[in-house]
Chains A and B, each alone.
Chain A
Amino acid sequence: MLEIQNVKKLYTSTTGVKEISLLCKEGETVAFIGPNGVGKSTILKIVSGILKADEGTVLLNGKDTAWFGTRQNIGYMPEHLNVGKKISAKELLYLISDYKYKGKYKEKIDESIKNYALENQCNKPFCKLSMGSKKKVGSIIAFMGNPELIILDEPTNGVDTAGIICMKRDITEAKNRGCSVIVSSHILDFIGSIADRSIFLKNGQIEHIVKGKENLEEIYTTLYL
């Protein structure tokens, strides 16, 4: 279970996250929705432990996510991933398997490469892949090792239909295993099809929470347009 308790992170007096509290149960998918600059990526970075909150704590099954040992149980797909020029997508995935999981899950990586239709791309340097292909590799990274918490920052950017279908299937499988999933996206249809709860952010605060599959577009129009 993921507990976000009174998290606050301000870059300036108006930008950042003002105060967010949330409980995400095992097997639940929570989505953050909102326009650019509303604090979606900031809250995901705080949850992952990459960024320190000014106030508040984030606990995964009672353990602080900022603690190094908790990282093993978190799968994170960042908005952007910078790696060197030479390393290929497959080499990167194998390297993560070696470093984070002591060489396990290599067969699963090969299977995921096939599922995401990355066979022709996986031997090219990662930095030269298209945005969609990079996101697909990011998705394989996030789901690798069956983590307890999966964080997906803008997972659908530039991804083709096959990739989105595959991503949805991976999210459903992870949920069935009891994994909590936190996602941020601008694609409301995608969120509507995967999220158990959708949280609308405004000015760094929770503005509205929707359970189930209500009409997200209508709520978005009312809140922001």
Chain B
Amino acid sequence: MKKSFRLWIAISNVFYKVIQFVLAIALIIVAQIFVVPVFEEKIAGVKMISSNHLRVFVTIAFLVAFVAALIHGMYKTILENKELEYILSLRKTEYYLYVLFQKSSWYYMYMIVITAMTGAFGYEKVLAVVLYTILYLAVTYITYFVACKQIYFGKDICFREKRTRDKVNRTKVVKENAYIELILLGIKERYAFFEIFFCKIAVVFIGVIVGKGGISRNIILTIYCFLALVLILANDAYWKNEKEKIKLFCGIGISHKKYIVVNLISGIIFNLLLLALLFSVFSKNIAVGIVFVCIGIFMQLYWNVIYLYTNLRLPDDSEILVMVLYIFWMIIGLIPIMNIFLLVYVLKKIGSCWQGEMEC
């Protein structure tokens, strides 16, 4: 335990982990206040099946989706760290605890959803948290050993990535059109990140609950815009991965406008398409639907540009500065007109950075 914790502290950014923990606690409280009453009301309103049975079904569906994502995510982490585990001569349980600490955000996400879905309060809630934590530990422990065994025997279980890659390779149009290939690659790579994939599942899940809630159109629109923003911001891991590619694209003379357009389209398809479909089904109003799509596309463009600017302009080791700037840009992004001015300004800055490539 001590070894695993020390390794985790040595390797992670403690400040970032503390912020993540505080945010998780805040989200659990927010979910208890706002989501639980709506969820309770809705499952009580279903007449075909009792609310308790429905709760069990929803919980099982969530657990199945979560475990599927967990297996993939853990496999990837263990595969990436296997040499480190070897040279540190860690024992299996020590390494398991390290992986558990390293991926603490999974537990937070799991707890946010589980505590929102268990209806009880007080003593029963505490009992549910304890029991679901035991279940989480049991599932991760089994998953860990299965993944270790698969890696030790040299077997690949990243089905999703392989399948998507094969599909991309098979399509003839893709081979002939580099931009379509880049768009498909953008979508595929977002799916390859556990955090983004899981966030999409959670956002769609919450979106369906909210849509079924019978709330007024304007409130649904606000909630859907918030969900779209959360999903766009969850693309952070994708943009970090893009950093090296951006330098390469700059270097070989690809225009920044084409790069932005390609990423805008892949972002819209991954982040907004499904939400827009759900929204149009639940709102049953074309005008409000168009408003959501327009806001969504603006948010996608705004954050694509911000991420691109950050990657081009800020040095690699300025994580805290980046975080502060993101908060600033998020505030500006919520102020009408100001956000358009900032978008135009940053776009111009990117143009000059891209042209001079390494001068920024």
Please report A residues at the B interface, Cβ cutoff 8 Å.
9, 11, 48-52, 68, 71-72, 76, 78, 80-87, 91, 95-96, 99-100, 125, 128, 141
Contacts and interface: CB of A to CB of B under 8 A. Distances in A.
Determine the main DSSP class of B at the interface with A: helix
B317 A81 contact: no
Interface string B65-92: 0000000000000001111101111110
A50 B82 contact: yes
B80 A48 contact: no
Interface stretch (B3-11, B44-52, B128-136, B184-192): B3-11
B104 interface: no
Contacts of A99: 3, 7, 88-90
A86 B83 contact: no
Contact of A83 (B11, B91, B316): B11
Nearest to A125: B317
Contacts of B88: 95-96, 99-100
B84 A82 contact: yes
Contacts of A84: 10-12
B89 A71 contact: yes
Nearest to B84: A83
Interface string B90-114: 1100000000000000000000000
Interface string B1-28: 0010011001111000000000000000
A71 B86 contact: yes
* Interface size range on B against A: 20 to 34
7 contacts: A52-B153, A52-B154, A81-B83, A81-B84, A81-B87, A86-B12, A95-B10
A95 B83 CA distance: 14
Interface of B: 3, 6-7, 10-13, 80-84, 86-91, 152-154, 316-317
Nearest to B102: A84
A141 B87 contact: yes
A62 B90 CA distance: 23
A39 to B, nearest CB: 12
Contacts of A100: 87-89
B154 A76 contact: no
Nearest to B91: A68
A80 B13 contact: no
A215 B293 CA distance: 68
A141 B89 CA distance: 12
Given A71-B86, A99-B3, A128-B316, 18 more contacts: A9-B154, A50-B152, A51-B154, A52-B152, A80-B83, A81-B83, A82-B80, A82-B81, A86-B13, A95-B6, A95-B10, A95-B88, A96-B88, A99-B7, A100-B88, A100-B89, A128-B317, A141-B87
5 closest Cβ contacts across the A-B interface?
Answer: A84-B11, A78-B83, A100-B89, A99-B88, A82-B80
A96 B83 CA distance: 12
A76 B87 contact: yes
Nearest to B83: A78
B289 to A, nearest CB: 41
Nearest to A95: B10
Contacts of B90: 99
Contacts of B12: 84, 86
Nearest to B80: A82
Given A82-B80, A85-B13, A50 B86 contact: yes
Contacts of A83: 11, 84
Contacts of B152: 50-52
A219 to B, nearest CB: 30
A152 B154 CA distance: 20
A91 B10 contact: yes
Contacts of A76: 83, 86-87
A9 B153 CA distance: 9
Contacts of A72: 89
Nearest to A77: B87
Contacts of B154: 9, 11, 51-52
A72 B86 CA distance: 10
A11 B153 CA distance: 10
A50 B153 CA distance: 9
A99 B80 CA distance: 20
